[in-house]
Amino acid sequence: MAEKMWAGRFQKELDREADDFNSSIHFDRRMFRQDIAGSCAHAAMLAKQGILTKAEGEAIIAALGGILADLESGQLTFDPDAEDIHMFVESVLTERIGELGKKLHTARSRNDQVAVDIRLYLRDEAVEITALIKELLAAILEQAKKHADTIMPGYTHLQRAQPITFGHHLMAYAMMLIRDCGRLENAVKRMNQNPLGSCALAGTTYATDRMATSEALGFDGYTLNSIDGVSDRDFCVELMSAYALIMMHLSRFSEEVILWSSWEFKFIELDDSYTTGSSIMPQKKNPDMAELVRGKTGRVYGNLMALLTTLKGLPLAYNKDMQEDKEAIFDSIDTVKKCLKVFAPMIRTMKALPERMYAAAQKGFINATDLADYLVKKGLPFRTAYKIVGQTVAYAIEKDTVLDDLPLADLKEFSPLFEEDVYTEISLETCVSKRISAGGTGPDSVKAQIEFVESFLNA
Ligand code: ARG
């Protein structure tokens, strides 16, 4: 075990098991780019303020650049015995440039260092995840355009309710995903304040320039209270809840994909490249990707609860408990990314089966509301019309037929207002095309939705 940087105060070495328990290098190493960027900004600021000489600042920054390049190329590997990424980078720096390396940590603490690293890291990942969501949006859009006129049953209580188009149904998911992008953007905006310069908790006696490091690192400003600067993990919770919501949306979508690809529905067929077979049943084509996405939603919810629970009751300022933020949020990020990466092409390549959707929409009295509306337009109050149609439906069920196939004479038994035009008025095509209200399943509305999503993607 290498000597700890903080060894001065201690008479004994840390116990081996305790040392492993304490170490976070195996997971915080993924923030090495952000850690080095933070250190470069800090060194430049120290030199600008005359806390380091200009030459010292330049030498530190050059050496940090070398460390970054060597880590990227694999020439330098992470020391598994290092306590964390911050100690690792600093120790390599000191190995490479000697005593000068030890000056980098002037007017800084690991507490503000880790707070800045994680913000930078999460900011980058949120941008990547937003791009992946947009790929899924584009796949949905492609399918929705293709199926703007494809009629299918719309459901409530998983019972056939009213006819809709497949395009309209898909666009519902587009709306959810656009909100998800907004949530990420919003969380990043609130998070984008620089904690560097808060130091351990109380600030520093050096005349630092926090605006300089903020600008260098692309922050909108710096955190105004140093205690909050090092203790705040709200942004992790906000992002994790945004990730949980994304998974909730993907999980609902997955559930439908799974149902739709069952023999009972057969509304869609997934591409072979996104399905698997069974080891025993030769006929099987299983929607494993959708099931896994649905399943992985649990761990992303769990990560959110884990961090909320870790933070609950923590006194100010930094506590080591907070090291637990990383594995949870890294796992949420990795999971969401993996899910989006298979979900978008799975949706893009899925084949809709419009005849099956249409056949399903023809059953289940899906046009009963429209039959009632027909009578309303002929002057009956809706409640009265509703009751008449209820009786008509009961009669049709008894005769083992559907509303469209009842002879006009039979319909007239229930209301003299029924005329020959009733059949076109309750056809599935009419039911869909006449749903003209804004946001409804009618073609103009679906077109407007598609345009909205397109302009979101082009913005
Ligand atoms: N590895 C630590 C973390 O992730 C870095 C901060 C350590 N600070 C300290 N005072 N021990 O939280």
Q: Report pLDDT digits (tens) over 185-208.
A: 999 999 999 999 999 999 999 999
Is residue 388 situated within a structural domain? yes
CB distance 322 to ligand 1 below 6 Å: yes
CB distance 24 to ligand 1 below 6 Å: yes
Task: Say whether both 172 and 317 belong to one domain.
Answer: yes
Is residue 8 situated within a structural domain? no
One-letter amino acid of 343: F
Task: Say whether both 304 and 403 belong to one domain.
Answer: no
Angle 166-191/234-260 helices, nearest 10 degrees?
A: 170
Give me the half-sphere count of Cα atoms (radius 13 Å) on the Cβ side of residue 197. Answer: 23
Q: What is the pLDDT of residue 341?
A: 98
Per-residue pLDDT of the chain (459 residues; tens, 9 = 90+): 677 877 788 888 889 999 999 999 999 999 999 999 999 999 999 999 999 999 999 999 999 999 999 999 999 999 999 999 999 999 999 999 999 999 999 999 999 999 999 999 999 999 999 999 999 999 999 999 999 999 999 999 999 999 999 999 999 999 999 999 999 999 999 999 999 999 999 999 999 999 999 999 999 999 999 999 999 999 999 999 999 999 999 999 999 999 999 999 999 999 999 998 877 777 878 999 999 999 999 999 999 999 999 999 999 999 999 999 999 999 999 999 999 999 999 999 999 999 999 999 998 899 999 999 999 999 999 999 999 999 999 999 999 999 999 999 999 999 999 999 999 999 999 999 999 999 999 999 999 999 999 999 999
Distance from the CA of 323 to the center of ligand 1, in angstroms? Answer: 6
365 touches 65 (CB < 8 A): no
Q: Are strands 268-269 and 159-165 parallel, antiparallel or unpaired?
A: unpaired
Distance separating alpha carbons of residues 392 and 415, to the nearest angstrom: 10
Distance from the CA of 322 to the center of ligand 1, in angstroms? Answer: 8
Is residue 24 situated within a structural domain? yes
Ligand 1 pocket test: pick from 89, 319, 320, 327 the residue with the most ligand atoms within 8 Å of its Cβ.
320
Task: Say whether both 417 and 350 belong to one domain.
Answer: no
Question: SS3 for 269?
Answer: strand
35 touches 67 (CB < 8 A): no
Task: Say whether both 233 and 304 belong to one domain.
Answer: yes
CB distance 274 to ligand 1 below 6 Å: no
CB distance 319 to ligand 1 below 6 Å: no
Number of domains in the chain: 3
One-letter amino acid of 272: D
Task: Say whether both 400 and 449 belong to one domain.
Answer: yes
CB distance 28 to ligand 1 below 6 Å: yes
CB atoms within 10 A of CB 136: 26
Task: Say whether both 240 and 276 belong to one domain.
Answer: yes
Is residue 6 situated within a structural domain? no
- Answer with the one of 307, 340, 357 that is the final residue of a domain: 357
Encode 350-382: b = buried (16+ Cβ within 10 Å), e = exposed. bebbbebbbebbbeebbbbbbbbbbbbeeebee
Distance separating alpha carbons of residues 294 and 289, to the nearest angstrom: 9
Residue showing tokens 């804004």: 438
103 alpha carbon, distance to own chain's centre: 41
Distance from the CA of 111 to the center of ligand 1, in angstroms? Answer: 6
Active-site residue set: 157, 278
CB distance 125 to ligand 1 below 6 Å: no
- Answer with the one of 306, 333, 357 that is the final residue of a domain: 357
Distance from the CA of 304 to the center of ligand 1, in angstroms? Answer: 20
Task: Say whether both 427 and 315 belong to one domain.
Answer: no
Report how far apart, in Å, the C-alpha atoms of 290 and of each of 154, 278, 331 are: 21, 16, 19
Look at ligand 1, atom 12, and give the residue with the nearest C-alpha.
323
Task: Say whether both 280 and 215 belong to one domain.
Answer: yes
CB atoms within 10 A of CB 299: 15
Is residue 5 situated within a structural domain? no
CATH code of the domain covering residue 75: 1.10.275.10
Is residue 159 situated within a structural domain? no
DSSP per residue over 32-52, as a string? HHHHHHHHHHHHHHHHHTTSS
Task: Say whether both 446 and 378 belong to one domain.
Answer: yes
Task: Say whether both 130 and 259 belong to one domain.
Answer: yes
CB distance 261 to ligand 1 below 6 Å: no
Give the DSSP H/E element, type plus range, for residue 164. Answer: strand 159-165
CATH code of the domain covering residue 438: 1.10.40.30
| CA nearest to 370, candidates 184, 65, 161, 219 | 161
- Answer with the one of 342, 357, 372 that is the final residue of a domain: 357
Q: What sections of 163-204 are H helices per DSSP?
A: 166-191
Q: Are strands 351-352 and 268-269 parallel, antiparallel or unpaired?
A: antiparallel
Task: Say whether both 338 and 371 belong to one domain.
Answer: no
Task: Say whether both 219 and 245 belong to one domain.
Answer: yes
Is residue 338 situated within a structural domain? yes
Atom of ligand 1 nearest to the CA of 118: 4
Ligand 1 pocket test: pick from 110, 112, 310 the residue with the most ligand atoms within 8 Å of its Cβ.
110
Q: What is the pLDDT of residue 39?
A: 98
Q: What residue numbers bound the domain in which 29 lies?
A: 13-106
CATH code of the domain covering residue 241: 1.20.200.10
CB distance 134 to ligand 1 below 6 Å: no
Is residue 156 situated within a structural domain? no
Q: What is the pLDDT of residue 1?
A: 67
Ligand 1 pocket test: pick from 28, 114, 236 the residue with the most ligand atoms within 8 Å of its Cβ.
114
Distance separating alpha carbons of residues 52 and 48, to the nearest angstrom: 8
